[in-house]
Amino acid sequence: MKDRPVIVHDLDDARAAVAAAAEFGLASLTLRSAPDAARYLGASVYRDIVRAACRAYPGVAVTAVFDCGADPGLALGALRHGLKVIRLSVAGKARDRIADIAAQSGARLDNSDADQPALDLLDAEDRGAALRTWLTAAD
């Protein structure tokens, strides 16, 4: 099955997404923070949201992607807080340096296409129905 990332904004979103993945028999799921979430959410908060959401569903391998926008300092902070996959919208030497630091700590920069489709739960009127449709869609 093709990766179908879900953008989560809080613990309820994350729990619903992981529960839906478990319900539909998915072995893995990508949870992404909102764009530029590092500016207002904080790396440790996002890390703890994902951990709490995953606790009840150990059979679902969750990749948590934390969006640091264009701020290398926030990306470094995310690495210090133990996040393993971060999005960073910078190019050139700054990106290369952060990628090297990430690799040294067992982490990586997310290289997926910035326009990759993802379900954003912020606008979902019925979170369960939106997840069902998104996660079970044919590739």
Cβ atoms of residues 8 and 43 within 8 Å: no
User: Domain limits at 59?
Assistant: 6-135
Does 1 reside within a domain? no
Q: pLDDT tens across 41-62, in order? A: 999 999 999 999 999 999 999 9
Handedness of CA 130, 133, 134, 135 (dihedral sign): positive
Q: pLDDT tens across 4-27, in order? A: 999 999 999 999 999 999 999 999
Amino acid 139: pLDDT: 63
Burial of residue 50 (CB within 10 Å: 0-12, 13-18, 19+) is buried
For residue 109, the domain's CATH number is 3.20.20.70
Q: Rounded to two decimals, what is the model's pTM?
A: 0.93
Amino acid 123: pLDDT: 86
Does 15 reside within a domain? yes
In the chain, the N- to C-terminal Cα span, in Å, equals 7
For the chain, the domain total comes to 1
Res. 1: pLDDT tops 60: no
Count of other CB atoms within 10 angstroms of residue 135: 19
